[in-house]
Amino acid sequence: MLKVALRRTAVAVLLALTAACAHKPPPKDYTAYRSEDPHSILVIPVTNKSTQVDAPDNFLATLAVPLAERGYYVFPVNMVKRTMEDDGLGDADMVRAADPRRLANLFGADAVLYAEIENWDASYIVVSASTTVRVHYTLKSGKTGETLWDQTTTAAYSQGAGGIDPISLLVGAVKAAVERAHPSYIRVANFANAQAVNTPDQGLLPGPYDKGYKKN
């Protein structure tokens, strides 16, 4: 009985929460994206609307891998950040306001990816805890500055009790305490990135180093 209770209460619910949960959005228009056919992506420093001061750097570190796995060359994000600081672009909001053609020209990039954190939050209710990340992504042409793709994605990780018996409540409280001490921001950020990049008809098109390149 104890094992059954523990299995039932050790709930780690991984949620990708978007408007698509209610009804599937129409496919994006990829006309300009296909015309540009970007091979390389420059990821600029992340802007932040949340109250978590560490969120931008933590989230920035999660972006390169999903983009590379989608088939694009991604300029090393830490090198990019240092180079921009040396060029007088040390503030993320300042970088975001700069002409994307100028940014792309600094590195010879085909496209520039912007990411803005809208929510980076952890909430707790005694025996349960939830960590939520909401991000707006925009991909702009390095040649024209035109927006090629944009997407807003919300992802959440919930952990806590799944039952009301004493053992369930105790296990849930312990798990919630762990989540409260060390919120799963990076885990949730990875979920958000995967959803934003890979969702069919909504995410990035497969890049030139992906086997699905130009097949859709």
| pLDDT tens digit sequence for 143-185 | 999 999 999 999 988 764 444 434 343 334 434 343 343 447 8
> What is the number of domains present in the chain?
1
Establish if 120 belongs to a structural domain.
yes
Quote the domain boundaries for residue 92: 2-198
Establish if 88 belongs to a structural domain.
yes
| pLDDT tens digit sequence for 12-45 | 334 344 434 446 889 999 999 999 999 999 999 9
Cβ-contact 124, 157 below 8 angstroms: no
| pLDDT tens digit sequence for 178-208 | 334 344 788 889 999 999 999 999 999 999 9
* Mean pLDDT of all residues belonging to the chain: 81
Establish if 210 belongs to a structural domain.
no
Establish if 216 belongs to a structural domain.
no
Establish if 176 belongs to a structural domain.
yes
Residue type, 182: H
